[in-house]
Amino acid sequence: MQLTRLTDYGLRVLMFVGRQHGRICTRPEIARYHGVSQEHLRKVVHKLAILGYLNTSRGRNGGIVLGRDPAEIRIGDVVVALEADLSIVDCQALGCVLRHGCSLKSALNEARRAFIAALNEVTLADLLSDPGMRRQFRKIRIANGR
């Protein structure tokens, strides 16, 4: 299973904003840091705000902060909220003659549930406190002259 760009960027935004410890961030700042389009981030930030993961404000002093404590943000929940379809195989679209009562589909659905359950064992706080992740954030910040 491969996650969509929306989910990838969503997780990156949450990690970036979470590393700021309450400092207000801006979309252009996040886009520069990750080397991604501001337009993509606009959609991602909007969706995360609707879901309550981010708080956003407009205006001169506006920006983005986490909407929840990082320890309350389970990664599996974020993935489920951002992904439009978590099906491993779309039996209907493929026109599979076995799609009614197929044991393979059941096994794949169980694998998907296990995948999300494993991701839900990890919170944003876990990701942010990981020493390797902290080193990586420092390296990127230094490379970008910040």
pLDDT in tens, 68-125: 999 999 999 999 999 988 877 777 666 677 767 778 888 888 999 999 999 999 999 9
pLDDT in tens, 41-84: 999 999 999 999 999 998 888 899 999 999 999 999 999 999 98
Residue, of 138 and 49, whose pLDDT is higher: 49
What's the number of domains the chain is made of?
Answer: 1
Strands (E), 19-113: 54-57, 63-66
Angle at 94 between CA 111 and CA 107, to 5 degrees: 20
**Predicted pLDDT of residue 146:** 52
Q: Within 10 Å of residue 41's Cβ, how many Cβ atoms?
A: 21
Phi-psi region of 125 (alpha: psi -120 to 50; beta: other; left: phi over 0): alpha
The CATH number for 67's domain is 1.10.10.10
The parent domain of residue 66 ranges over 5-143
